[in-house]
Amino acid sequence: PKLIYAASSGFGHSGPYSKRAAYDAVVQAMGGIMSITGQKDGKPTRVGTSIGDIAAGMFTTTGILAALINRDATGKGQKVDVAMLDCQVAMLENAIARYVVTGEAPKPGGNRHPSIVPFETFDTVDGEIMVAAGNNALWTKLCEAIGTPELSDDERFNENPLRNENYDELRPLLASAFTKKTTKEWQDILDNAGVPNGPINTIDEVLKDPQVLAREMIVEIEHPVAGKLKVPGVPIKLSDTPGGIRTPAPTLGQHTEEILK
């Protein structure tokens, strides 16, 4: 009666799809994520990582922890049933709210936030930069930092709903300003102004990023076949019991004899 049994599957243990097979790409498609991902007016696009798999694993872990807490209180175990499709639907965030309010199914919007302006990428002299001015205070700081303080007081742009309404007028003005400096120069300027921003890093750049390295998010392990490998570290930092990646995933059958003893 104290047993906690967790099961993670494509569609869960109930409903008309419960017997169907699934992979990450399938639930990304069916769960609506692909329909809002990609460039504006472009085709639905699969997210670049297996978020369907990852999210299901994370929600399953949360479910197990909740079941453990309940068992501590009641002495009873239970089944934890997690479906990949359910997890994708749970991650739709404001897309469902936008549909409920407008009656129109959201579509891919590129790198632009659907309701906050400016909250997107801009071209620089040597690349692109992501800028997230999520409120009016940050909007004012951004305008001052990029040398266009007059925009913050402009009646067309001084509130977020107005910036959305007049986006086609505002976007070129901001884009023009960002083409005057490099990405790194804008990073320094916006950091000093307190405006959230960041470069669009490639994977090799992520592996060399000083913040990523300082947080030990890239670690080196010894693999019995491949030798030394760099892998992602543990993103949860516990003060008293820090975890770590010490061994690679086992090779096929590596622990069979040990388990059967």
DSSP symbols for 69-128: HHHHHHS---EEEEEHHHHHHHTTTHHHHHHHHHSS-----TTS-SS-SSEEEEE-SSSE
Q: Of 24, 53, 81, 123, which one is the catalytic site residue?
A: 53
The whole-angstrom separation of Cα 204 and Cα 82 is 34
* Cβ–Cβ < 8 Å for 163, 152: no
Contacts of 59 (CB under 8 A, 6+ apart): 82, 86, 87, 90
Instruction: Check if 53 is active-site.
Output: yes
User: Residues with catalytic annotation?
Assistant: 53
